Amino acid sequence: MKGKKGSLVIKISIPSEKSPKQESGGDDSSPAARKWAREVWEFGKEDTNRVIFAVKVGLAVLLVSLLILIRSPYDVFGASIIWAILTVAIMFEYTVGATFNRGFNRALGSLLAGIFAVAVMQVAMACGHVAEPYIIGLSIFVIGAVTSFMKLYPSLVPYEYGFRVILFTYCLIIVSGYRMGTPIRTAMERIYSIGIGGITTLLVNAVIFPIWAGEQLHRELVGSFNAVADSLEECVRKYLADDGSGGQPDFSKNVMDDFADEPSFRKCRATLNSSTKLDTLASSAKWEPPHGRFRQLFYPWAEYVKVGAVLRHCAYEVMALHGCLHSEIQAPYNLRCAFGPEILDVADQAAELLRSLGKDISNMKQSLHTSLLNRVHLSADRLQASIDMHSYLLTSGHDFPAHPLPPGQPSDDKTASGNCNAQPADSYHEAMRKQQRRLFSWPSREVDDYEDGGVHDSEAIQRMRTLESTAALSLATFTSLLIEFVVRLDHLVDAAELLAKMAKFKEEAGKS
C-alpha cells in the first residue's frame, strides 16, 4: 500500500510537474508566435511600401495567370503563355526604376538571343542534317562561355541579368526549335509571351502606388545627413560627459556587437557602407520617367551619389572622432571640460548646418547657407583660438591632472559630470590665463634632469609623463578632427549647392 501510495504520489507529482512545463511551453510558444507576428506587423507598418509591393506582386501574377485560367485567351496564346508568369516573377522589382532596368535587360537579352538563335539555326539547317547538332552544340557552348565571361567584366556587371537571359533564352529557342523544327515560330511565341508578362509587370509596378527609386534615393541621402549630424552630436556629448568612472567597454567586444549603446554611430556607419545602395538606387532612378516632385527631364540623379560621396568623407572624420572617444589613452576629464563649451558649440553648429542641408534637400529648396557656414567657421575659430591660448595645458602641463581645479569647477561632483558645459567659459579662461603665466615661468627642470643624467632612474617617471602628455594631446587630436570636419563641410555645402542648382530646386530669397 505504501509502495502504491508512493507510486501514486509520484504519479500525481509527474503530471503536476509536467503541466506547468507544458503551460510554460505553451506560454513560451504562444508569446513567441505573438512576438513574431508583432515583429512582422511592425515591419510592415514601419514602411507601408513593403505591403504595397507584396500586394502588387500578387496582383501582377494573378493578372497574368488569368490569361491561362480563363478559356478564351488560353485558346489564343496556347501553352507558351506560361512564360509570361516566369517573366513577372523574375522581373518584378521593388522600385519602378529597377523594374524598368530589369525589363530592358530581359527585352534586349531575349531579342539578341532570338536573333542569334534564328541566325545559327539557318546556318545549321543549311549545313545539312549530320552537321546540324554539332553546330548547335558548339554554338551553345560558345554562347555559354562568352556571356559568362562578359558578365564578369567590371563595366558590364550591371547587365549581369541580361547575359543570363541571353544564355537561357538562346538555349531554349534553339533546342526546342531543333526538336520542333520551327525556330522562328518558337521565338515569336516566346517573345509575345514575354512581352505580355513584361508589360503587365511594368503597368502594375508603375501605375498602382508606384515606389520610385528616385524618391528612395532622395530620402536615403536626407537620412544620411541626419545620421551624420546625430552621430557627431552623440560622439561629442559622450566625449564631454564621460568622466572615466564608468569605464569604456572593451573595444574589440564593441566592434563585434556594433557599439550597442550608440544608435547614431551605427546609423553613421551604415551611411559609410551605403555607397553601393546609393549607386544602385541612382542607376535605377535613371530609368524612371519624370514623376512626383522630380518633374525635370534628365534629373541629375548622379549628383546625389556625388553629394553622398562627399558626405561619406565627412563621416570618416566622425569615425575618427569616435575612435578618439573609444581610445585607450584619454585626456583627463577636467581638461575635456575646460574646452567643453567651445567643442560643444562647434559640434552643435556643424550638426545644425548638416540638418539644414538635409532639410533643404528634403524640401527641394535652394537657399544660401553662408550665414550658417560662417557661424560654424566662427565657432571653429573660437575653438582654435582657445586651444592655442591654452596649448600649454595640452603639452607642457605634465602635472596638470594633479592640479586642483580652479574655483567654480565641480570636479568631484559626479552628478554634475554631464553639466560641465554649463560652466561659463570666460571666468574659467580667466583662471587659466593666470595658470599660463605661472607655467611659463616654470623652470624646465624635469627636461634638464632627463638630459644631464639619471636616465635609468627616471625612466619610469619619464614613461608616465609621456603617457600623461599624450593623454592631453588626445584632446588636441579630438579638436583637430572636429575642425577638419568643419573644413570638409565647405565641400559638402558646395556639392549640395551644385545639386540644388542642377536639380533646379526652388530658390528661397528670404533665407540667407
Min CB(7)–its own copies separation in Å: 45
Instruction: Find, among 83, 42, 291, the residue nearest to 195 by Cα.
Output: 83
The rounded distance, in Å, linking the Cα atoms of 345 and 341 is 6
Min CB(243)–its own copies separation in Å: 21
Q: What grid cell was written down for 52?
A: 504595397
The rounded distance, in Å, linking the Cα atoms of 449 and 458 is 8
CA distances from 201 to 13, 85, 99 (A): 63, 10, 8
Min CB(448)–its own copies separation in Å: 8
Residues 72, 76, 79, 80: is their CA dihedral positive or negative? negative
Taking the least distance from each CB to its own copies, the nearer of 346 and 417 is: 346
Instruction: Find, among 84, 408, 381, 352, the residue nearest to 228 by Cα.
Output: 352
Is 307:220 a contact under the CB 8 Å cutoff?
no
Min CB(460)–its own copies separation in Å: 12
The rounded distance, in Å, linking the Cα atoms of 98 and 161 is 12
What is the residue type of 455? V
What does the longest C-alpha to C-alpha distance in the chain come to? 106
Taking the least distance from each CB to its own copies, the nearer of 241 and 473 is: 473
Residue 291, phi then psi, degrees to nearest 5: -155, 155
Taking the least distance from each CB to its own copies, the nearer of 352 and 381 is: 381
Is 355:226 a contact under the CB 8 Å cutoff?
yes
Q: Which residues contact 117 (CB under 8 A, 6 or more apart)?
A: 169, 170, 173, 174, 177, 183, 187
Q: Taking the mean position of all CA atoms in its chain, how far away is CA 379?
A: 30
Taking the least distance from each CB to its own copies, the nearer of 50 and 266 is: 50
CA distances from 417 to 222, 245, 347, 409 (A): 34, 10, 19, 10
The kind and range of the H/E element at 240 are helix 213-241
Is 201:92 a contact under the CB 8 Å cutoff?
yes
Min CB(125)–its own copies separation in Å: 14
Helix ranges (H only) for 326-390 are 333-338, 340-363, 370-389
The rounded distance, in Å, linking the Cα atoms of 479 and 203 is 55
Min CB(168)–its own copies separation in Å: 4
Taking the least distance from each CB to its own copies, the nearer of 148 and 419 is: 148
First to last CA, the chain: 98
The rounded distance, in Å, linking the Cα atoms of 459 and 450 is 9
Min CB(167)–its own copies separation in Å: 5
Min CB(279)–its own copies separation in Å: 11
Taking the least distance from each CB to its own copies, the nearer of 10 and 40 is: 40
Q: Helix or strand or coil: residue 1?
A: coil
What is 54-102 written as a DSSP string? Answer: HHHHHHHHHHHHHHHHSHHHHHHH-GGGHHHHHHHHHH--SSHHHHHHH
Is 147:128 a contact under the CB 8 Å cutoff?
no
Taking the least distance from each CB to its own copies, the nearer of 14 and 255 is: 255
Min CB(287)–its own copies separation in Å: 20
Q: Where do we find the cell 590665463? A: 433
Min CB(297)–its own copies separation in Å: 24
The rounded distance, in Å, linking the Cα atoms of 140 and 125 is 16
Min CB(353)–its own copies separation in Å: 17
Min CB(118)–its own copies separation in Å: 17
Q: Taking the mean position of all CA atoms in its chain, how far away is CA 237?
A: 23
Taking the least distance from each CB to its own copies, the nearer of 412 and 452 is: 452
Taking the least distance from each CB to its own copies, the nearer of 277 and 511 is: 277
Taking the least distance from each CB to its own copies, the nearer of 226 and 330 is: 330
Taking the least distance from each CB to its own copies, the nearer of 296 and 466 is: 466
